[in-house]
Amino acid sequence: MTSLHADEAFLGHYQLSHDPFAPRVPGFKFFPAQRKPVLGQLHHLARYSQLLLVVTGPLGSGKTLLRQALVASTNKQSVQSVVVSARGATDAAGVLSQVAQALDVSTAEPNAILKQVVQLGLTGQEVYLLVDDAEQLDESALEALLALAAGTPEGRPHVFLFGESSLIADLEQISGDQELFHVIELQPYEEEETREYLAQRLEGAGAGIELFSAAQISDIHESAGGWPGNINQVARDAMIEAMIASRSAVKRPKMGFTMPKKHVLAISAVVVVAVAAAWLIPGRSKAPTTAGTPAEQAQLPLGKPTPNVEFANSGQPTNLPMVGQPVMRGPLAEEAGGISEGDDGVPVEGSSATPPTVTTTAPPAGVPAGQPAANPAPTVATAKPAPVTKPVVAAPTPAPAAKPAPVTKPAEKPAATVAKAGTAGSSWYASQPSGNFVVQILGTSSEANAQAFVKEQGGEYRYFKKVLNGKPLYVITYGNFSSRAAADSAIKALPAKVQAGKPWPRTVASVQQELAATR
């Protein structure tokens, strides 16, 4: 699909109240059976463990949703939750500043914050400190958070970090042999959980799970690897593919083309001239008659007959010298009311807007070129007249004997520029057929990381920028395939390092829609 009104067309086709697979849908809460114990485990560790708690999973694994559920399920009378984002505040100063502001502490230092935590504990309130996108924190920020989690004998906050698996290596490097944190790794959905997730998403938008067959649900689960973020994208792609297929079935391509009215008139003029020329062939009429009066005929010198041809709208016959010299007529379309132009105002060469050239005998003096003769009289065969050139309707190539007026060749439109492999931006994706597929490798919030990955892998790797939850995300893709099967085959041939990220095929149409939403 094109970017213009893409979302409106998608929603209207399925009669949806909103996009069921948008990253953030108000009021949507889905907790499969496997995630409920994780939530309970977090509450248990917050009460009894003295360690910093880490929740890891790939992009789109549901970490933020779990964090929201943790905040929502706490007792607001006894727990004050402080949510911090590592985006834009990756160092210790940025993180501590957010915490100090939320707790109404004037000094953004660990000791001042811990004193406030102790004061709140005396009033019966605990502090939950939850950090999103924690994989972006630098070493100073992680050290500050570990210090807050350790606390003092009088009290400490419960610190939760939600981030990708790279966060674990950073914490291990800082903690060394000490046991300073506990890790909970999220697991992907089972196929039945994927089905329940899709059903709840669709029901919230006014549709039902019957939009997908059992085979489609199985394919969606396998392609997405069971991760909810990928499920959203793959399911949306499947619905867009089905919509495009149904519209193509209704609007079958027309056979041929509809010719503009001016072109039809131009062709009609060609046919009229061809029929008129046919009547000029010698021997066509068994009883030829000589044009003109007897007196005029008597004045003609014997052996040199000069036939008279009377043209339409002409009061007097005009001598037509039979010299047999071929000439080039002007474009016949001019007789039918003008020449049609292309999009750039220039007649399109080789199309119906450029009428074929017709070669015929020279017109008589005083008669405009291209004006057809009305019932021309055939010649009288006396003595040995000069040979008559037989009128021929020539092929659409100009006659070699005459030099026609130069025709300006329309400027050729440049071929669409295709971006080279390894480049960023929307131009390459916008120029590809929407029905093609690319393989999504990974997404990262750092453009420098995306550039480094593409540079390292080279070949058919590219990336584009989208907006996820109001924040930039750089998505790396591989290849360009005409079918999903071809994309699946390409995934199996990717290096093991790349396959570890669970790449999956998606349509170019879905990328074009994300780029349109970003603009």
Instruction: With CA atoms as reference, report the closest residue to 43 among 8, 18, 19, 75.
Output: 75
Per CATH, domain 427-518 is 3.40.50.300: no
CA distance 233 to 236: 5
- Token duo for residue 498: 């790349």
The DSSP output letter for 152 is B
What values do phi and psi take at 55, rounded to 5?
-115, 120
pLDDT at 34: 81
pLDDT at 419: 38
Contacts 24+ apart (CB under 8 A), 88-97: 90/136, 90/137, 90/138, 90/141, 91/138, 91/140, 91/141, 92/138, 92/140, 92/141, 92/143, 92/144, 94/141, 95/131, 95/137, 95/141, 95/144, 95/145, 96/144
What is the maximum alpha-carbon separation in the chain?
Answer: 139
CA distance 452 to 446: 10
pLDDT at 341: 37
Instruction: Give the list of residues 6+ apart from residue 164 with CB closer than 8 angstroms, or none.
Output: 56, 57, 58, 59, 135
- Token duo for residue 473: 């995300």
First to last CA, the chain: 16
Q: Which CATH superfamily is domain 35-185 in?
A: P-loop containing nucleotide triphosphate hydrolases (3.40.50.300)
pLDDT at 286: 47
The DSSP output letter for 443 is E
Q: What is the DSSP string of 245-282?
A: HHHHHHSPPPSS-PPPHHHHHHHHHHHHHHHHHHTTST
Residue by residue, pLDDT tens for the chain (519 residues) are 433 344 667 788 888 888 888 877 776 777 787 888 899 999 998 888 889 999 999 988 989 889 988 999 999 889 999 999 898 788 999 999 999 999 999 999 999 999 999 999 999 999 999 999 999 999 999 999 999 999 998 999 999 999 998 899 999 999 888 899 999 999 999 999 999 999 988 988 888 898 899 999 999 999 999 999 899 999 988 888 888 888 776 555 554 445 555 555 667 666 666 766 666 665 554 444 444 444 444 444 444 454 444 444 444 444 444 444 444 444 433 343 433 333 333 334 434 444 444 444 444 444 444 444 444 444 444 444 444 444 444 444 444 444 544 544 444 443 333 334 344 567 889 899 988 999 998 888 888 888 888 888 888 899 999 887 677 888 899 999 999 889 989 998 888 878 877 788 888 888 888 888 777
